[in-house]
Amino acid sequence: MRSLGVLAALLTFLSFLSGCAKELGRVPFSAPGAGETTMTLAAGEVGVWTDLDIEWEGPAALAYQVDLFQNGTCVVSTVCNPLGKHRVRMGWVSSDVGESHSWRGNGKMGCEVSLAQAGPTTVKVNLAWGTTPAKHTLRKADLVLKQ
């Protein structure tokens, strides 16, 4: 039984460490649309996070189309769901009552991005509703990259 407690503490600690990666850049959104930024990234895994402040009623689907370019060539693409399950949450406050939802905080999304080479990287992002809720308020839906 003690080993289960030690394992739970270790998993909690590792989860905390994964949230401690340094923010290298963000693409801000207060409405659906396109945005981009350029930053220097290291080779390897890049954490894709959302900094979200949203309220909605009814069915909803929202997605980031993320494309990373190095030397003018797209080296990796992914689609991320800010309304999906988040691997890590920080400063998260949410309320889900029936069809009404209110979410605010930072969450590491389940999409994966890995770079083969380090260097200057242009991040192009398109945020779009797949299913637009009947009623919604999108205050912030920034895409954040961390390493």
- Give me the mean pLDDT over the 107-134 stretch: 96
| pLDDT beyond 50 at 119 | yes
| pLDDT beyond 80 at 56 | yes
pLDDT in tens, 60-109: 999 999 999 999 999 999 999 999 999 999 999 999 999 999 999 999 99
Q: What confidence category does residue 5 fall into, taking pLDDT thresholds of 50, 70 and 90?
A: very low
What integer pLDDT is reported at residue 70 of this predicted model? 98
pTM of the model: 0.85
Q: Report DSSP letters for 100-137, one per residue.
A: EEEEEEEEEES---EESS-EEEEEEEEEEEEE--SEEE
| H/E element, 105 | strand 100-109
| Residue 51 tokens, joined | 């900094």
pLDDT in tens, 10-37: 434 444 444 568 999 999 999 999 999 9
| Residue 116 tokens, joined | 């083969």
What integer pLDDT is reported at residue 10 of this predicted model? 41
| pLDDT beyond 70 at 8 | no
- What is residue 28's three-state secondary structure? coil
